[in-house]
Structure 1
Amino acid sequence: MKIKICGMKYEENIQEVAELQPDYMGFIFYEKSPRYFKGYIPTLPKTTQKVGVFVDAYLDDVLDKVRRYNLQYVQLHGNETPAFCKAFKQTDAKVIKVFPVDDDFTFDTIKPYETVCDYFLFDTKGKYHGGNGATFNWHILNGYPSEKPFFLSGGIGLDEIPSIQKLNLPIHAIDVNSKFEIEPGIKNVADCERLTDLLKH
């Protein structure tokens, strides 16, 4: 199971976490987020993919960030249409489309995106576009109708890992953020290392 550490913000902390060689590191380009990124991304290990996180951004703005930061993935957290997602087929960037989940969630939501996204991401529906710090009922995903691997997000900390490992689901990666922070944008490197040990060894 791969690891995505999201909400990176400060260069020194990025470098410290990068030494653990997570599979993905996420940078949030959403100005209303306390983890809004507008800094410098140092050189990352070749095995670590850069993910830009956007919420209902203009296509030109997203493409500009993809070029400027050499992003390998765009993660779309808003109400982006299938046509918007399809626009990235003209680039080298892959698309992760986020779907907020609560007890009323239905998989009908994902069907229009099946052919235009590379991955889905399921996150807890809450007040914010991610970073709500709460899990959702993962058993809702037992009815997952697609063969497309997905990212699992939403309030995942070290305590949740054993339960996730027992799920019989096509989880491509877990996406962690707020439960691994000292404060918004600063990750606890020791906790990130423990996460890596749990999932990689």
Structure 2
Amino acid sequence: MKVKICGMKYPDNILEVGSLLPHYMGFIFWEKSSRYFDGVIPELPKSIKKVGVFVNESTKVILAKAQKYNLQAIQLHGHESVEFCQELKNKIDNTIEIIKVLSVDDSFDFDVLKLFETVCDYFLFDTKGKLPGGNGTTFDWKVLEKYPSNKPFFLSGGIGIEEMEAVKEIAKTNLPLYAIDVNSKFEIEPGLKNIEKLDSFKNNLKTLNL
């Protein structure tokens, strides 16, 4: 089970989190976010993939940020169309992963996934809320029983240490759960992560043999 720690903001904290060796580290390039990143990413272990998180941004800006920050993945967290994703896929380096976010509630229509199958590398399921992300609440993971695809996905939305048992249960299923994405439940303040809580979370995942 891979771990993505999102919403990083402060250089010293980025280095501390980097020492835990998460598989992915997310930087939010949406200016309205309290976790908006516009700084310098310190040098990180090469095993950590840097993810740029964008909300309804132009391909021009995404490509510029990908080059500036040497991103290994792009997370599309807005209402990006299939055509937009295809255009981006055609323009970026083919080694950069595209993660398409879908905001989920009890009435989510999984049929929309079919349209995005060929234009992204992963899906990410987050809780539908007032903000594009970072709402700090979980959705009912039972809706994922309807997941019709074999494409691996990230699970996000208010996941903290309290959700470990639920993570364990969903990991036992045949769903292609690829990674757990954490953010606000591990923060001291927006963008500043609690290292001890993150370390405990990662160690708990290891004990589950995920």
Q: 1-side partners of 2:70 and 2:199: how far apart?
A: 26
Task: Tell me by how many angstroms 1:108 deviates.
Answer: 1.3
Q: 2-side partners of 1:156 and 1:105: how far apart?
A: 19
Residue equivalent to 1:122: 125
Residue equivalent to 2:162: 159
Letter of the 1:55 counterpart: V
Q: What is the DSSP-based 3-state SS (H/G/I as helix, E as strand, rest coil) of the residue aligned with 2:75?
A: strand
Letter of the 2:77 counterpart: H
Which whole-Å deviations, capped at 9, do the CAs of 1:38-79 have from their partners, x for residues lacking one?
001011111110000000001100000000000000000101
- Asked if 1:109 corresponds to 2:133, the answer is no
Using structure 2 for the length normalisation, give the TM-score: 0.93
- Asked if 1:173 corresponds to 2:176, the answer is no
Which whole-Å deviations, capped at 9, do the CAs of 1:128-166 have from their partners, x for residues lacking one?
111101000001001111000000000000010221111
Alignment of 1:2-81 (within 5 A): 2-81=2-81
Letter of the 1:184 counterpart: P
Task: Tell me by how many angstroms 1:89 deviates.
Answer: 3.6
> 4+ runs of 1 displaced by more than 6 Å?
none
Q: 1-side partners of 2:185 and 2:105: how far apart?
A: 20
Q: 1-side partners of 2:44 and 2:145: how far apart?
A: 35
Task: Tell me by how many angstroms 1:82 deviates.
Answer: 1.2
Q: 1-side partners of 2:66 and 2:21: how far apart?
A: 21
What is the aligned-residue identity percentage? 59
Unaligned stretches of 5+ residues in structure 2: none
Task: Tell me by how many angstroms 1:90 deviates.
Answer: 3.4
Unaligned stretches of 5+ residues in structure 1: none
Task: Tell me by how many angstroms 1:127 deviates.
Answer: 0.6
Residue equivalent to 2:202: 196
Using structure 1 for the length normalisation, give the TM-score: 0.98
